[in-house]
Chain A
């Protein structure tokens, strides 16, 4: 729209131009030169295309390994985005590079709380000494097989590297992966063995029933395993009835906030006459969380089907699936599943012959935890910086593009399939009264069989740890990080707490995203807690003062604790930081950035290690 200024001295390369053209295909550039006497452009055309900025930036990064000035100017010219604004967007994300690349491949190694227990820091050193370009990364969502490694490649699709034996990845395996000629991540990863998940093929599973059983690349196989029966049922019963069943089921959001799904859907469905959207939040980035990845990799069609059920029920004609950029396998499998669904008439103008329209667009994040916050995710999809919005207004009335939007987590959505098939009431009969149904938990740390586990609500922490084979030999439970970095630490005394919404809430904890990360007596908890503080500092979007500066000051305090300062010295400041972040931050990131740290202090986890001794008896339960 505006009279833009393009100052880059370098031109975009042919590869960059081609990649950008592909990324915006179907929309085309903003400016249409009908002739030298007639040009169409303008605000409306610009606004309609702004959401292409993020895919276009991905295209640049992939084409040449960085966001080059010439490439950025080219994207800005095509989409009429001011270069300064596009630069602001590009620099928001960790996966975009702003210096000319020194290598074709960048190896991202997770050194977050779980992976650093298993040699992540050493692996980083080793890879660097072997000449790889390495970036230490926040949680890559592969905590069951840490240290996690993802390779970002120029001109080819990214890869996750997994060890064949399920153990820690070696530098040799990374080197082999980099040299692999395949340009797309395998859509036929072995389903047997450790990749399939510890519960693969077990009876009684609902959300994980097909994971490790079905061929994730085959629509036919998906159908053979019961796929698309829920959509058939949903279309037959109609949107209102679907929403009524979901409401009756008591299903609540599995992303962490536990908002009743039926209420959310009703709110959007009621906005008749306005364009509505369904967004699936697959930006799973909470440290310790990998359940959505497991579902997407193992049973991608179930998510496509669930989104179709949800979208048609609430009257949304447009669905958006936002998968974090660190999940190349899930991305490839969902792309494939969406293509297959379109080809089979299960998406598009006339979903399964119903006359209803539902289009599904897949978008990738680019390395920003904050984009898992729903309004930040909207801004990210819209091609803006992933900064959360102030609420109200809420997404049901003012969501994506300012239009009514239902945004649900992957796990939440796939729950809809059994609900539609068995009925809301039957679903509600399982689990506990206030936490009906089943729940996915992500077990990691010092357990024998880390992985994603599905259990009926009501199972205790001990049940889950046992399911994961108990603690490894020689380990004695010191603490469990429950719910993720935004959750809290609990001690062994919490082992018999049922992991329901109501029981955890009563204990002052939270289920969060279902993280159960087990630490033992030898783990350096000061380091762990400091890493959590570092995580929030790195992942703060920087918009509001309490979080932008508060997370920095909080981390500084924890560094000081590691260097001999005592809790007593820092207590007032930590309290005030916690208060201002919790009370005055714009979004949940800042509001929860001190929770785990405070619980660690209360549990006395920081006593005696690094910090001066002296018990903090008051904290123990």
Chain B
């Protein structure tokens, strides 16, 4: 991987050590090859422990820090002016926009010492090859898209994009998030990232598929829930998603799903969402029971192959959808194999045009764009920015505002809770609870030494954890060197500790991603009378059971 050849690696809001361990192998090879590594994260994570420098910023101040770094790069004259001149737009406005973000001001906002911000700016800007990698620490905020854009600004200032070894590396959380997007599972895109609103593109698909495609952009998940609330959305066909457990405000999600006239869930597990469904289609597991493809974070399309037959009544998803279409009156779909579907896809998605099924088999994987069969695939994107004149549209600087998390810290909710991931567990734990991991420690609320002392709680003590949305019981784990005011927990065990009962319901309006990384909470000691102010109603609660009212 390219990162093995980078000179500076910035892990920003990514604990790849836990969440993307094999990618991190490559990053560490880069470090062994001489790269210096910075990590930017409110916590000194496992990833951060490998770094030369860890910058512990306040939760949700990523944009401020990025602006501070940008301003320092500009002020120190370390910009790549030739690149900016030829390949970007909006530079002058951007310079003016970040002017207030002096090292001192940035330090005040982010909590990071000014000298460290300066060092990061200089190291990143002066590196020959530099990469910024991020994960949900950047995106699971109500400003997720803005956060990403603020990092993009840094790469545009320095020309660390579109070249081998340099770039922006978003690390995907699932094996086929990229593939889902590639296939058009986005409200505004057709397959191959062609715009729904583009008449020409739509016409191509309509001709190929012999149907009419609605010309308007659809809803994202958040908008769907809003539409449910307005009773505009009455029926949902939910495939491979478990919003009851995964939505930030789980209570709200459950309430909305209950309002539906019809909920169809297609999943490999009887999830808590499936339990609410009117109809459940049991599906084959993608990676072990189905043939198909997945696209990874580096846009590499790889074959998935069935190794074992699906259990019981579970069926291939292609067959389920096919039969559903037939039942709805369209029996013209035939019974396409995954290979048939792929070959059809190639005819309408130019970036996949050169990836024949046979090539995917033979080469093990090809990175898009790959327009023709003799094209080797593309290890990196945006090379066009280095063409002179620039190929296509100029890359714009983004003047995005630094905004604190929506779930404000107050005297009533003075602690910042952020959710994190354990190495051996995956999301809501549905798929990882079946093996007996010797390193699984269960859920705990990590508190700083000072906060634990102030609260009078000790390691292993059960406490009540409350947010504006609910309250649960958790076990305390006192963590040395954790920043004062910061708490964290995983969310892998919703059956016993339902973290999402207390996480923020704020979402990024641009992406619909929930602000899992920043909830305001309060921690209360449990007394023999039960929860403070609740007159003993919480006594004897099992782990994580709801204390507040439940819709």
Which A positions have Cβ atoms within 8 angstroms of B? 1-4, 33-45
Contacts and interface: CB of A to CB of B under 8 A. Distances in A.
B50 A37 contact: no
B437 to A, nearest CB: 15
Contacts of A43: 31-32, 50, 52
A38 B53 contact: yes
Contact of A2 (B49, B116, B481): B49
A38 B483 CA distance: 11
Given A35-B113, A41-B51, 19 more contacts: A33-B481, A34-B113, A37-B55, A37-B116, A38-B56, A38-B112, A38-B116, A39-B44, A39-B48, A39-B53, A41-B49, A41-B52, A41-B54, A42-B37, A42-B53, A43-B32, A43-B50, A43-B52, A44-B52
Contact of B36 (A2, A33, A34, A42): A42
- Top 4 closest pairs, chain A to chain B, by CB: A42-B52, A3-B46, A37-B56, A3-B49
A42 B46 CA distance: 12
Given A3-B17, A43-B31, A43-B32, A37 B112 contact: yes
Contacts of A36: 56, 481, 483-484
A38 B17 contact: no
Interface in B315-363: none
A3 B53 contact: no
Nearest to A39: B54
B111 interface: yes
B464 interface: no
A50 to B, nearest CB: 14
Interface in B37-76: 37, 44, 46-57
B46 A38 contact: no
A591 to B, nearest CB: 32
A384 to B, nearest CB: 16
Contacts of B44: 39
Contacts of B50: 1-3, 42-43
17 contacts: A1-B50, A3-B17, A4-B49, A37-B113, A37-B116, A37-B483, A38-B55, A38-B113, A38-B116, A39-B56, A40-B52, A40-B53, A40-B54, A41-B54, A43-B31, A43-B32, A45-B52
Interface in B122-146: none
A37 B57 contact: yes
Contacts of A37: 55-57, 111-113, 116, 483
A83 to B, nearest CB: 15
Interface in B374-412: none
A571 B112 CA distance: 74
Nearest to A37: B56
A40 B38 CA distance: 9
Contacts of A40: 52-54
Nearest to B31: A43
Contacts of B113: 34-35, 37-38
Nearest to B51: A42
Contacts, number: 60
B336 to A, nearest CB: 47
Contacts of B53: 38-40, 42
A4 B46 CA distance: 9
Contacts of A45: 52
Contacts of B483: 36-37
A485 B53 CA distance: 51
A33 B49 CA distance: 12
A34 B113 CA distance: 9
Contacts of A1: 31, 49-50
A34 B52 CA distance: 13
A42 B38 CA distance: 9
Contacts of A38: 53-56, 112-113, 116
Contacts of B54: 38-41
A42 B48 CA distance: 9
A494 to B, nearest CB: 53
B87 to A, nearest CB: 33
A33 B54 CA distance: 10
Contacts of A41: 49, 51-52, 54
A299 B31 CA distance: 46
A41 B52 CA distance: 5
A439 B111 CA distance: 68
A114 B440 CA distance: 57
A4 B50 CA distance: 10
A40 B52 CA distance: 5
A3 to B, nearest CB: 4
Contacts of B17: 3
Chain B CB within 10 A, most for which of A34, A37, A42: A37
Contacts of A4: 49
Nearest to B53: A40
A38 B17 CA distance: 19
Interface string B246-289: 00000000000000000000000000000000000000000000
A59 B94 CA distance: 57
B311 to A, nearest CB: 38
A44 B50 CA distance: 11
A41 B51 CA distance: 6
Contacts of B112: 37-38
A38 B46 CA distance: 15
Nearest to B37: A42
Contacts of A35: 113
Contacts of A3: 17, 46-47, 49-50
A45 B484 CA distance: 27
B27 to A, nearest CB: 12
Contacts of A42: 31, 36-37, 50-53
A600 to B, nearest CB: 48
A47 to B, nearest CB: 10
Contacts of B48: 39
A37 B17 CA distance: 20
B232 to A, nearest CB: 46
Nearest to B112: A37
A130 B32 CA distance: 54
A39 B56 CA distance: 8
Contacts of B47: 3
B109 to A, nearest CB: 12
Interface string B472-496: 0000000001011000000000000
Interface in B500-544: none
A37 B111 CA distance: 7
A39 B42 CA distance: 12
Interface string B13-39: 000010000000000000110001100
Contacts of B51: 41-42
Contacts of B52: 40-45
A2 B31 CA distance: 12
Nearest to A2: B50
B144 to A, nearest CB: 23
A43 B51 CA distance: 8
Nearest to B423: A3
A4 B36 CA distance: 19
A82 to B, nearest CB: 12
A76 B101 CA distance: 40
A43 B27 CA distance: 13
B117 to A, nearest CB: 10
A78 to B, nearest CB: 15
Nearest to A42: B52
Nearest to A45: B52
Nearest to B111: A37
B12 to A, nearest CB: 15
A42 B53 CA distance: 7
A244 B509 CA distance: 78
B30 to A, nearest CB: 11
A10 B17 CA distance: 28
Contacts of B56: 36-39
A313 B464 CA distance: 71
A34 B55 CA distance: 10
Nearest to A43: B31
A44 B123 CA distance: 15
A548 B57 CA distance: 53
Contacts of B57: 37
